[in-house]
Structure 1
Amino acid sequence: MNNCSVFCVSDHTGVTVEAVAKSVLAQFPRLEFSLITLPFVDSAGKAQAAAARIAAAPRALVFSTLTDPALRALLRSAGSGLFDVFELVAPAVEASLGQTATPSGGHTHGMAPDYEARMDAVNFALNLDDGLNPERLGQADLILVGVSRVGKTPSALYLALQYGLRVANYPLTPDDLAHPALPGVLLTHLPRLRALTLSAERLSAIRQARYPDSRYASPQQCREELVTAEALFKRHALPVLDTTRMSVEEIAARLRHP
């Protein structure tokens, strides 16, 4: 099967099943596929509509996190290969625990803080983005440092939204890099600092998209900034994460568990 449609079906947002599908399909680099997420399939009518759409696809794989067995049965009627996360995993967990699972749609047991905490963390990240309000750095769970465009802002926002962490980010400007030590406002928070870096080629391409043909985007400027910043990180023994080949999800996971 060289080309196929991959359906991710969920009775909630679909984030979990989509992540599972992408992780599995990454093991098949020769497979070409289009990913289609069908969220909030939480009724018989929606399950039937999803099954009809899947049946209409000439080649399809289906990943599902539907918790209602009746809805799973409707989905199975599409006749395509169905890989249901709960059907595959829950029986083994039941056997290990000696307990029977109770289907409950739309829940990720203990995986994320409550809504209010996450929204508070997002607001915090926005208010302390790009070096804003440095007097509040003491309230941060983590402080991301690095030169401009190494991924600090998206990483801070993802950590806030997904995990409820209060994350600030502080850009190292050419003026900062001209000094032998990190800015004083950061030195009092060293245990919470996490440094981000990436390859000069990747940084140049990112900057080029925003400011074409500028000195800011030139490979030489990017290389000089990165080398100087990395020397500062080493001087202060900061944990450093190279984000060159990482998604924001992987960056966030590694920042949480350095």
Structure 2
Amino acid sequence: MSESAELHVPVFFVSDSTGITAETLGNALLIRFPGIQFDRRVFPFVETPEIAQEVLHEASTASSAPLILMTVKSPEVAAVFVSDKCAVVDLLGGHLGELERILGVKSSEDAANSHGVGDLERYHSRMRAVEYALEHDDAQSVRMLDLADLIIIAPSRCGKTPTALYLALRHGLRVANYPLTEDDYPALDVPKALAPFTARCFGLTSTAQRLSQVRQERRPGSPYASLQQCRRELRWAENLYRRHRIPSLNSEAKSVEEIAAVMLHTMGLRHS
């Protein structure tokens, strides 16, 4: 398949679980083909051959033969997708075989094992982290900041909220996020509520052009979305990060997964 700016390829992420793994692994591969326009759809909880047949029928109605990126454990379900209607990449198959060889143990084909009682505490931990992130979104609450694993600070619309929720849901981390506003600008000080927790802070920036574009979608034509305002806020935020030695990242061209990975590594945070 040659690269072309005009080429459109339907991609189905198919999973017998939530689809997060299929999307994460699949997108990590697709990003290597910038000249192709991928039209993505996610099909989670494909747990039976009957559901798989329904997805395959969807594939037959696509504008062109889709690429299926699959994380399906059941051989019976996976076998349904062996068809001339689509091309299939099994994102787990080769890796599982290699792990079986290395570990000398046959992997389990029982998908239910990955959703059993053993995961219950992990699940509740993540839900508590999500609740924490929602309560502490955009400085709605400053209570219990001492419990935060991480505090994301940035001018409005730099990606604080999706990153906080991703870290909570995927890694079980308690993440607060706090907007840097004009009220904070006169002095290059960390907002008072965050001052005791500066060591837990991580800053985000963007480019003025991108920030203005995002803000225009929210408040078209407003001073808040003007290039001048965006430049001023970003310049102030960057100076604040430097003064207080707060690690930071330009989020403009980064996915949530990439931003989160940098934060985890830089801050030395655990993966759950």
Fold in common (TM above 0.5): yes
Q: Displacement, 1:236? A: 0.7
Does structure 1 conserve the Cα–Cα contact (< 8 Å) formed by 2:9 and 2:38? yes
SS of alignment partner, residue 52 of structure 2: helix
> How do 1:1-258 residues align onto structure 2 when only pairs under 5 Å count?
1=1, 2-55=7-60, 57=62, 58-78=64-84, 80-105=86-111, 107=114, 114-258=122-266
* Separation in 2, partners of 1:173, 1:5: 42
Q: Displacement, 1:23? A: 2.0
SS of alignment partner, residue 133 of structure 1: coil
Q: After the TM superposition, which parts of structure 1 deviate over 6 Å for at least 4 consecutive aligned residues?
A: 108-113
Q: Give the partner amino acid of 1:193.
A: C
* Separation in 2, partners of 1:18, 1:152: 21
* Separation in 1, partners of 2:115, 2:45: 15
Summarize deviations over 1:132-159 as a string: whole Å, max 9, x none: 3324211211111122222212221221
- Which runs of no fewer than 5 residues in structure 2 stay unpaired? 2-6, 267-272
Summarize deviations over 1:73-108 as a string: whole Å, max 9, x none: 222145532211222211111111222212232638
The alpha-carbon distance between structure 1 residues 167 and 212, as it changes in their structure 2 partners (threshold 3 A), is: same
- How many residues are treated as equivalent by the alignment? 258
Does structure 1 conserve the Cα–Cα contact (< 8 Å) formed by 2:65 and 2:87? no
Q: Displacement, 1:255? A: 1.5
SS of alignment partner, residue 6 of structure 1: strand
Q: Which moved more, 1:47-56 or 1:164-173?
A: 47-56
Report what 2:269 is aligned to: none
Summarize deviations over 1:102-142 as a string: whole Å, max 9, x none: 22326389999722222211221222222233242112111
Q: Displacement, 1:194? A: 0.7
SS of alignment partner, residue 211 of structure 2: helix
Q: Give the partner amino acid of 2:51.
A: K
- Which runs of no fewer than 5 residues in structure 1 stay unpaired? none
Does structure 1 conserve the Cα–Cα contact (< 8 Å) formed by 2:208 and 2:231? yes
TM-score, structure 2 normalization: 0.85
The alpha-carbon distance between structure 1 residues 253 and 178, as it changes in their structure 2 partners (threshold 3 A), is: same
The alpha-carbon distance between structure 1 residues 111 and 34, as it changes in their structure 2 partners (threshold 3 A), is: farther
TM-score, structure 1 normalization: 0.89
Q: Displacement, 1:238? A: 0.5
Summarize deviations over 1:12-65 as a string: whole Å, max 9, x none: 122211222222222222333322322222112222333344355542322221
SS of alignment partner, residue 234 of structure 1: helix
The alpha-carbon distance between structure 1 residues 221 and 79, as it changes in their structure 2 partners (threshold 3 A), is: closer
* Separation in 2, partners of 1:112, 1:216: 44
The alpha-carbon distance between structure 1 residues 111 and 63, as it changes in their structure 2 partners (threshold 3 A), is: farther
The alpha-carbon distance between structure 1 residues 234 and 90, as it changes in their structure 2 partners (threshold 3 A), is: same
SS of alignment partner, residue 144 of structure 2: helix
Does structure 2 conserve the Cα–Cα contact (< 8 Å) formed by 1:113 and 1:164? no
* Separation in 2, partners of 1:79, 1:225: 51
When the two chains are superposed, the root-mean-square deviation of aligned CA atoms in Å is 2.5
Summarize deviations over 1:177-230 as a string: whole Å, max 9, x none: 111322232221121011111111111112222222222221112111211221
Q: Displacement, 1:172? A: 1.6
Q: Give the partner amino acid of 1:28.
A: F
